Amino acid sequence: MDSKPLSRFTVLDLTRVRSGPAAVRQFADWGATVIKIEEPGDEQDDKPGGSAQFADYQNTHRNKRSVTLNLKHPQGRALFLDLVRQADVVVENYRPSVKFKLGIDYESLRQINPGIVYASVSGFGQDGPYASRPGLDQIAQGIGGLMSVTGEPGRGPMRAGIPIADLTSGLFCAIGIFIALLEREVSGQGQWVQTSLLQSQVWMMDFQAMRWLMNGEVPGQSGNDHPTSSPTGVFPTRDGYMNIAAMGNDMFARLCRVLEIPDLIDDERFLTVPLRARHRAALNAAIGERTATRDTADWIARMNEQGVPCGPILGMDQTFEDPQVRHLNLCRQIQHPELGPISVVGQPMILSRTGPGDMAPAPQRGEHNGDVYGGMLGLAPADLRQLAQDGVI
C-alpha cells in the first residue's frame, strides 16, 4: 500500500496562525514534502506559549520540516528562489501587500518556475475595498453573517465555538491547490489560487444565505432549534440533554410514538412542517415534558430502534471516548522526542487504498536547515554556518 499519496509534491509553507496552516496540513498529512519557512529567531504568533497553544501547534504543524530564512535579506530571497525552482506549491497568508514588498509574489515566482502553484489566504481577498484590513476569524464571522444566526433570540450576536472561517478558508485553499495541480497536468502551467476568510464564511452560510438571496428573508437566531424545521433541537432528559432531529411527517409520527404521545400526530397545530415550525414553542414544551422522564441513553436506544435521528451532547473528553469516534480513528498518536506519545486530531477522510501513514511532531525552528539546504540545494556545513552568522538563516 502506498501510504504517501502526495509524496511527489513539495510545498513551501510561508503561513502562520491557522488559516494557511489548515491548508498546508492537508498536504503534510498525506505525504507531501512540506517545508515550513520561519524567520530566524522570530517568536511568531503561533509559537508554543502555554499548554493549550503548544497542543494546538503540534496539531497544526505536524509532519512538516522547518528551516529558518530571512526573506528580507538579498541572500535569503535568493535561497528562497532556489527552493521555488524545485517546488510545486507555495502557500502564504500574509496581508496582500507583503508578498509584493518581499518580491515573492506569484508573477515574480512564475518567471523562474512556470509550473508553480501559488496559493494565498487573506482576510478579505487580494483586492477590493477591504483588502488592506487585518482579517481575523471572528471579524469574518460577523461580516459573513454567521454571528447574526448563532445564539438564542434576543441575546445578541454570538460567535461560533470554533474558528470556522479560518478552518474553512484553509480547506478551500487546499481544494483550490489540488484543482490547480490537476489542471497543471494538462496545461503544464501553474496559477495563483486565492481565497479568504470572508469568501469562505459567506459560502458556509449555505441555506441561510439562500433564504435571503431567493426568498428575501433575513434569517435570525434560533438558538438550538433548527431555523426552519421542527422538532429539531435540544431537549432535556432526566440526566442532562439530548439532540432530536425529527424532520418530516413520517419521522415526527415515529418520534411521537416513541415518546408515547401519539395524540400530537393528529394535533391541528402540528400537522405539517410549516405548522410545527409556527407552533414550535408549544411542540418543544410537549416533547420536553416527556424526554425529561428518562435518561439520555434510554431515549437514544429507544429512538434509534425506531430510526429517529437523535444523539447525546458530549464534552470534548466524552467525544474522544465515543465508540464511533474511536472506530473512525479520529485520535492519532505521534511520538514526540521529549514528551513521548502525544495525541492529535486525525484526518476526517478515508481512502480505500492509501492513508496518511505515520505522523511526525511539529518541528523545532530551523530543525531541518541541514537536510533542506544541504540535501536540496547542496550547501556545505561551512556555508550554513556563514549564512547563520550573516543573519540569512
Domains of the chain, first to last:
10-204+329-390 (3.40.50.10540), 232-318 (3.30.1540.10)
Is 55 strand, coil or helix? helix
Q: Is the peptide bond between 96 and the residue preceding it cis, with omega within 30 degrees of 0?
A: no
Task: Give the model's pLDDT for residue 41.
Answer: 82
Instruction: Give me the DSSP letters along 8-29.
Output: T-EEEE---TTHHHHHHHHHHH
pLDDT, tens digit (0-9, with 9 covering 90-100), for 75-98: 999 999 999 999 999 999 999 999
- From residue 265, give the alpha-carbon distance in Å to each of 226, 234, 257, 273, 290: 20, 20, 9, 12, 15
Mean pLDDT of 136-162: 97
Whether 250 is catalytic is no
Task: Give the model's pLDDT for residue 51.
Answer: 82
- Cβ atoms of 288 and 225 closer than 8 Å: no
pLDDT, tens digit (0-9, with 9 covering 90-100), for 260-275: 999 999 999 999 999 9
Task: Give the model's pLDDT for residue 43.
Answer: 61
CA distance 246 to 253: 9
- From residue 193, give the alpha-carbon distance in Å to each of 25, 101, 204, 284: 17, 19, 19, 47
111's grid cell: 518567471
264's grid cell: 400530537
User: What is the percent of the chain with per-residue pLDDT over 70, rounded to a whole number?
Assistant: 98
pLDDT, tens digit (0-9, with 9 covering 90-100), for 265-306: 999 999 999 999 999 999 999 999 999 999 999 999 999 999
Number of Cβ within a 10 Å radius of residue 300: 19
- From 166, 206, 266, 358, active-site residue: 166
- Cβ atoms of 377 and 83 closer than 8 Å: yes
Whether residue 132 has pLDDT greater than 80: yes
Cβ within 8 Å of residue 140, ≥6 positions away? 123, 124, 165, 196, 197, 198, 200, 201
Q: Which of 37-41, 87-91, 186-190, 289-293 has the lowest mean pLDDT?
A: 37-41
Mean pLDDT of 10-22: 97
Q: Buried b vs exposed e over 135-146: b needs ≥16 C-beta within 10 Å?
A: bbbebbbebbbb
pTM over 0.85, yes/no: yes
Mean pLDDT of 36-57: 81
Average pLDDT of every residue of the chain: 95
Mean pLDDT of 167-194: 98
Whether residue 27 has pLDDT greater than 60: yes
Is 196 strand, coil or helix? strand
